[in-house]
């Protein structure tokens, strides 16, 4: 499997002229936590993440500072034809570049989706990546029973996977929407949901094997901090 098979191609990009305040609003509007910084030709110059924005706030810096002043310019990049197995130790947020131009991005969430869509044998490395992602990952089988809960999901729920594997998803988290995915077979990308007073962007998709739906998976990105940052910057 190559990077081009799993990378996200609907890119939100920043330029050197964007301010930190503008970047924070772009992150919130597009429900993302990082973006490549490019020039007018689309060539990669650096990467800005929510961690950079946190530092600006924590250090009481001017939110009108330019992205180009605080972005990370020293990046590891991937190529569309590179094998997924070769980037396991690179991924946090990996720009995919072809002839200097950014053509895609890969995150641990993308790897998690690849894991569930693949019929290849499960590798320990991929399982470790799923367990180390900052996003909640929850999967159910064809009967609506929980089949996987990653470490972050365990911490959020305050439950061990061993305590909930095999139990009905609606019993543990009633409003994940995974049963709808199981019934319709239709993916529901980038939808805002609230779980236990936390705001998430939910990407839900059916798990298929040989054309048959055998389960569903949700990847949930917590955007509560981004919303808080936006409110703080509005006060400036």
Domain ranges, ordered by start, for the chain: 3-110, 134-224
Do 47 and 75 contact (CB within 8 A), yes or no?
yes
Q: Is the pLDDT of residue 115 over 70?
A: no
Which tokens belong to 160? 């061990």
- Give the pLDDT confidence score for residue 178 in this predicted structure: 93
- Measure the CA–CA gap between 121 and 112, rounded to whole angstroms: 14
SS3 218: strand
Which tokens belong to 42? 């689309």
Q: Is the pLDDT of residue 119 over 50?
A: no
The CATH code belonging to domain 134-224 is 3.30.450.20
Q: Is the pLDDT of residue 189 over 70?
A: yes
Q: Which residue has the higher pLDDT, 47 or 91?
A: 47
- Give the pLDDT confidence score for residue 211 in this predicted structure: 84
Burial 133-144 (b: 16+ CB within 10 A, else e): bebbbbbbbeeb
Q: Is the pLDDT of residue 160 over 60?
A: yes
**Level-2 CATH architecture, domain 3-110:** Roll (3.10)
Report the percentage of the chain scoring pLDDT > 70: 89
The pTM of the full predicted model, rounded to 2 decimals, is 0.53
Q: How many CB atoms lie under 10 A from the CB of residue 235? A: 5
């Amino acid at each position: 499997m190559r990077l081009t098979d799993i990378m996200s191609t609907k890119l939100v990009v920043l330029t050197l002229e964007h301010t930190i305040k503008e970047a924070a609003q772009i992150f919130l509007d597009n429900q993302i936590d990082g973006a490549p910084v490019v020039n007018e030709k689309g060539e990669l110059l650096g990467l800005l993440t929510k961690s950079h924005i946190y530092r600006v706030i924590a250090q009481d810096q001017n939110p009108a500072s330019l992205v180009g002043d605080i972005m990370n310019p020293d990046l590891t990049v991937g190529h569309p034809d590179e094998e997924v197995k070769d980037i396991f130790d690179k991924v946090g947020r990996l720009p995919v570049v072809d002839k200097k131009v950014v053509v895609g991005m890969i995150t641990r969430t993308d790897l998690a989706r690849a894991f569930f869509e693949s019929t290849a044998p499960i590798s320990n490395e991929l399982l470790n990546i799923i367990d180390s992602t900052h996003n909640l990952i929850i999967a159910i089988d064809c009967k609506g029973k929980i089949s996987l809960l990653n470490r972050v999901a365990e911490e959020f729920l305050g439950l061990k996977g061993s305590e909930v594997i095999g139990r009905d998803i609606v019993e543990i988290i009633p409003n994940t929407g995974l049963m709808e995915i199981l019934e319709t077979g239709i993916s529901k990308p980038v939808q805002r949901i609230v779980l236990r007073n936390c705001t998430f962007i939910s990407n839900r998709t059916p798990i298929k094997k040989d054309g048959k739906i055998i389960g569903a998976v949700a990847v949930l990105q917590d955007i509560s901090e981004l919303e808080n940052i936006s409110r703080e910057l509005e006060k400036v």
